[in-house]
Structures are given as structure tokens and as C-alpha cells.
């Protein structure tokens, strides 16, 4: 039957070239836009270096303190202090590793080498587990280990572009640079990290034991649980997530019983979160609400599908009119309605998929070259330009999405004309009337 579809489509192209081409363009356009929208969300969730383990991450980058039992309830939320982060996330069972770090932008440093022109670079303060949780690509040297971290040695891992700016070379492990006028030794150089890797992103990575940043705390009254730290847990498998969360919740309860006397309550608001939940949550005191996200996404996708579906429907209707005689003939010789229906829908599906591939191709090319325009999130303009690799864009998940939308669009735009055509009175159909 497939050969038959191709034959019909080819005949369509030759006979009704304009309408068929418009059909293809309309479908390609719809798939293009839908996939752009899908990509903009997927990029926040798909794994890639150095966040290749995104599927196994549990992320906590905020806590909330609320005062209880007072007339004026006050609330504060933000990152965690080192002490609190340790209390909540160190030595958890059923985890592969846990990293505590202070980063995510906003900590820029003045970096210079050999009295060269200084540059401003984003820095992150991390522990040694950071390098096990995230998979950075080292171009020179290696990450700092536990001993170095504990000793608070002044070492730094720098990104490729920082190395090139200061030394015009990437093999600079062992050399010295000055950061905010303090000398550090470069222990490793890594490939540049895209802004889209929101947890791991920085241009300099320093052991947090070298800085006072650890001592910064904030919070309500004298309960200073807040600070500048985030935590990322690397689980062994997704099935461990509930167990890990249960342990964390138990520790939160323990802290709460301790601070109860100060009339302050600690809440993590659904954290630690999965990568997906993290991608749909903006504010630190916000609970992840997948339901709301899916509803909003459904509405947007529905509109993106409905408008072209109506378009294509009218064109399909017109196309089917041409074939009404043929439809009559087939029915006269015993083609059941259901078979006719599925034939029409399937044939159109082949056309849709061809058009969908065209649309997807344009989408990928557009996303690659216009990544600035598409993936600059609301705040990231402060830190630079997002980059996106082709391998990320050509992910099988993306292809699957594109195919599913082709299928849905096809169904939406063909079902009514097909039903109409298959229920036309045979005699009328044979005579070219569509009633």
C-alpha cells in the first residue's frame, strides 16, 4: 500500500503542484515552529557535557525560612549556607556522589596573568566532588582532588577561552594567574561550558576552602541558614530518587525541631528537584508545578497545531474533491469506508512526514545559528552567549517529538475532510459531486 501512497503523492505533485507544495510548506512551517518551541524547553533538560548526567541529578539551589507564630510573618529565601547544605546533603545513602558549590553566575573576578590585560571572568567555588558529578573535558592538567581541597590550596581550573585570552595557549596547567590580585596556580584547563549548563557554568572553578565565601550567611533573626551554596546529588538510578528525598526530608524535620524555639521554619519547597522540575521553576521560594507547565505547554502547542490544521484541512478538502470520482469508483468496487478513511489519512501522513523532515531540518539549522536569539534566558544576557552543539540538536528524542507532532497535525487536518469524503453517497461521488 505504501507504494500506492507514494504514487498518489507523486501524481498530486504533478497535477496539483501548487496546492500540494503549499500543503508541504504549511506543514513544514508548523513543524518548524513547534520544534523550535520544543527545543527551547528540551535544551534545559537534555544531557550534554558537562551535565551529561542530568537524568540522574537531584538539584537543590534554594531554601526558604519562614517565621512562625508572629504577627508579621516574614520570609526569606535564597541559596544555602555551607553548614546547612552539609547538614542536609552530606553522607546520604543510595547516592553516587554529592557536590556543594557556590556558582551559577554573579561571582565575577578580575583575572590577569603576567601583568597582561586583565579580564573579567565568572567564577564558581566548588568542592572536589564537583568534578565527579559533572563531566568536564580537560584539555590540560586535571581537577583538584580531595587533599588539595581540604588543604585550601590556591589552585584554579580555568576554561579554554580564559586560557587563550591570557596565554594564547591551552596547555597552561601549572602556570600562575592573579585573581583579584591574589596568585593562584592553574591545575587544569577545560573545554568552554555553554551557558545552558546552568549548574556547572563558570569560567573559573576554585576550591571553596580558599575563600571567605563559606562564611557568608543570611536568614531571619538569628537563624542564618541561608548563604551562597547549591547542591547537586548524583543518584545511581532514578528509582533511588524517592529514597533520597525521604532522607533529606527527615533531615529537614530534624533541623526544624532544633530551630522551633526561634520561631522559624525551614522549607525546601519540593527540593531537591529533578532536572525537569528545575527547568520549569524560576524563583527560589517557588514549588515546582509540572501540572501548570504542562497545561501552558498544551495550550501553546494546541494553538500552534490548530491554526495550520485548519489551513491544511481546507486544502485537503479541496484536494479530495479532485479525487471524489476515484473515491466513488473504489467504493463501488467494495472499498469499505474505514479502509478509505485509513488510506486517506495514511497517504497524507506520508506527505506530512516528508514535510515534517523539511521543517525539522530548518529548525535545527535555525537553532544552531540563531542560538543567541532562542536560548538567551531572561537573565543570562548578563553573562554571555549560549551555545548549542549539533549533537544536542539532533537528539533522537527531538526526532521522536517531530514525528509525533507530524502525526497529530496530520490527523487533525485530515480527519474531517476524510470523513466527509468517505461518507459521500457513491453515486454522487462518481458524478463528481461532493454531497
Partner 1 sequence: MSMIKLEGISKVYRTKEVETLALENVNIEVEKGEFLSVMGPSGCGKSTLLNIIGLLDTPTSGSVIIDGTTIEQMPDKVVAAFRNKMIGFIFQSFHLIQSLNVIDNVEVPLLYRSISAKERHQKAKEVLEKVGLSHRMHHMPSELSGGQCQRVAIARAIIGTPEIILADEPTGNLDSKMGAEIMEILHHLNKDENRTIVMVTHNEEQAKQTSRTIRFFDGRQVE
Partner 2 sequence: MIMNKKLLKQIKNEWRSNVWLFVELFFVSVLMWYVVDYIYTTVLTYVQPMGFDISHSYDLHCTTLDSSDPNFDPNDTVPYKDLKEIADRLRQRPDVEEVSISSYAVPYSGGCMMSDFKFDTLTSQSVYYKYADPEFFRIFRIHGAHGETPEQLSELMAKGPDTFLAGEDVFPKDSKPSMKSMIGKIFYFNNDSTVSHRLAGLFKPIRYDDFKTHKESHSIICHITNKDIDSYSDIAIRVKENQDKDFQSTLWKETTTRLKVRNMYVSQIESFSDLRTQINQPVNNTMRNYLFGAGFLLLNIFLGLLGTFWFRTQQRRSEVALFKALGATDTSIFGRQMTEGILLLTIATIPAIIIDWNLASAELNTSVDGKTLEAGRFIATIAITYLLIALMIFFGNLMPARKAMKVQPAEALHEE
* Binding footprint of partner 2 on the chain (CB under 8 A): 16, 18-19, 22-23, 25-26, 29-30, 33, 36, 108-110, 112, 115, 117-120, 178, 180-182, 210-212, 303-304, 306-308, 310-311, 313-315, 317-319, 321, 373, 376-382
- In the bound state with partner 2, the residue whose beta carbon lies nearer, of 21 and 253, is 21
In the sheet that holds 63-67, the strands lie side by side as 75-78, 63-67, 264-267
- Residue 334 binds which of partner 2, partner 1, none (CB < 5-8 A, kind-dependent): partner 1
φ, ψ dihedrals at 230, nearest 5°? -120, 160
Q: Residue for cell digits 547516592?
A: 95
Q: Residue for cell digits 476515484?
A: 326
Interatomic CA distance for residues 43 and 254, integer angstroms = 37
- Residue 66, Cβ density class (10 Å: 0-12 exposed, 13-18 middle, ≥19 buried): middle
Q: Angle at the Cα of 364 (from 358 to 365), degrees rounded to 5? A: 90
Interatomic CA distance for residues 413 and 236, integer angstroms = 44
Nine-digit cell string for 336: 469499505
Shortest spacing between CB 15 and partner 1, in angstroms: 8
Shortest spacing between CB 333 and partner 1, in angstroms: 4
**Residue 239 gets which letter from DSSP?**
G
- In the bound state with partner 1, the residue whose beta carbon lies nearer, of 236 and 425, is 425
- In the bound state with partner 1, the residue whose beta carbon lies nearer, of 63 and 429, is 429
Shortest spacing between CB 307 and partner 2, in angstroms: 5
Q: Provide the CB-side half-sphere exposure for 228 (13 A, CA).
A: 18
Q: Which of 55, 42, 49 is nearest to 275 (CA)?
A: 55
- Residue 120 binds which of partner 2, partner 1, none (CB < 5-8 A, kind-dependent): partner 2
Which residues bind to partner 1, rule: CB under 8 A?
7-8, 11, 15, 325-326, 328-339, 425-427, 430
User: Strand 63-67 to strand 264-267: parallel, antiparallel, or no bridges (unpaired)?
Assistant: antiparallel
Shortest spacing between CB 66 and partner 2, in angstroms: 22
Shortest spacing between CB 20 and partner 1, in angstroms: 13
- Residue 308 binds which of partner 1, partner 2, none (CB < 5-8 A, kind-dependent): partner 2
- Residue 425 binds which of partner 1, partner 2, none (CB < 5-8 A, kind-dependent): partner 1
Shortest spacing between CB 349 and partner 2, in angstroms: 19
Amino acid at each position: 500500500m505504501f507504494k500506492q501512497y507514494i504514487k498518489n503523492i507523486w501524481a498530486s505533485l504533478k497535477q496539483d503542484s501548487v496546492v500540494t507544495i503549499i500543503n508541504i510548506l504549511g506543514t513544514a512551517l508548523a513543524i518548524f515552529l513547534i520544534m523550535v518551541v520544543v527545543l527551547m524547553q528540551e535544551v534545559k533538560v537534555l544531557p550534554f557535557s558537562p551535565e551529561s548526567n542530568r537524568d540522574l541529578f537531584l538539584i537543590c539551589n534554594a531554601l526558604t525560612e519562614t517565621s512562625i507564630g508572629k504577627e508579621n510573618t516574614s520570609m526569606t529565601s535564597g541559596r544555602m549556607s555551607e553548614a546547612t547544605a552539609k547538614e542536609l546533603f552530606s553522607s546520604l545513602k543510595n547516592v553516587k556522589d554529592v557536590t556543594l558549590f557556590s556558582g551559577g553566575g554573579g561571582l565575577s573576578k578580575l583575572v590577569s596573568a603576567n601583568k597582561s590585560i586583565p579580564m573579567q571572568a565568572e567564577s564558581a567555588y566548588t568542592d572536589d566532588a564537583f568534578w565527579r558529578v559533572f563531566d568536564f573535558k580537560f584539555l590540560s592538567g586535571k581537577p583538584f582532588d580531595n587533599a588539595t581541597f581540604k588543604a585550601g590550596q590556591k589552585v584554579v581550573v580555568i576554561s579554554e577561552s580564559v586560557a587563550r585570552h591570557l596565554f594564547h595557549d591551552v596547555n597552561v596547567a601549572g602556570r600562575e594567574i592573579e585573581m583579584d590580585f591574589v596568585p593562584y596556580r592553574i591545575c587544569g584547563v577545560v573545554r568552554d561550558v555553554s551557558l545552558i549548563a546552568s549548574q556547572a557554568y563558570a569560567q573559573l572553578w576554585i576550591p571553596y576552602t580558599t575563600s571567605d565565601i563559606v562564611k557568608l550567611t543570611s536568614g531571619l533573626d538569628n537563624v542564618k541558614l541561608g548563604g551562597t551554596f547549591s547542591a547537586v546529588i548524583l543518584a545511581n538510578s532514578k528509582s533511588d530518587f524517592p529514597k533520597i528525598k525521604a532522607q533529606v526530608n527527615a533531615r529537614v524535620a530534624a533541623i526544624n525541631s532544633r530551630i522551633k524555639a526561634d520561631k522559624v521554619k525551614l522549607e525546601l519547597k519540593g527540593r531537591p528537584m529533578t532536572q525537569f522540575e528545575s527547568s520549569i521553576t524560576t524563583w527560589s521560594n517557588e514549588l515546582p508545578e509540572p501540572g501548570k507547565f504542562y497545561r501552558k505547554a498544551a495550550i501553546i502547542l494546541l494553538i500552534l497545531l490548530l491554526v495550520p490544521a485548519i489551513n491544511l484541512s481546507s486544502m485537503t478538502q479541496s484536494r479530495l474533491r479532485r479525487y471524489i470520482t476515484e473515491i466513488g469508483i473504489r467504493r463501488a468496487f467494495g472499498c469499505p469506508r474505514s479502509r478509505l478513511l485509513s488510506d486517506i489519512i495514511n497517504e497524507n501522513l506520508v506527505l506530512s512526514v516528508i514535510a515534517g523532515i523539511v521543517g525539522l531540518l530548518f529548525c535545527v539549522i535555525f537553532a544552531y545559528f540563531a542560538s543567541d536569539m532562542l536560548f538567551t534566558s531572561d537573565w543570562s544576557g548578563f553573562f554571555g552567549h549560549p551555545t548549542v552543539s549539533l549533537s544536542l540538536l539532533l537528539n533522537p528524542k527531538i526526532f521522536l517529538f517531530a514525528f509525533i507532532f507530524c502525526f497529530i497535525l496530520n490527523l487533525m487536518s485530515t480527519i474531517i475532510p476524510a470523513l466527509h469524503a468517505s461518507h459521500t453517497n457513491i453515486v454522487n461521488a462518481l458524478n463528481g459531486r461532493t454531497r
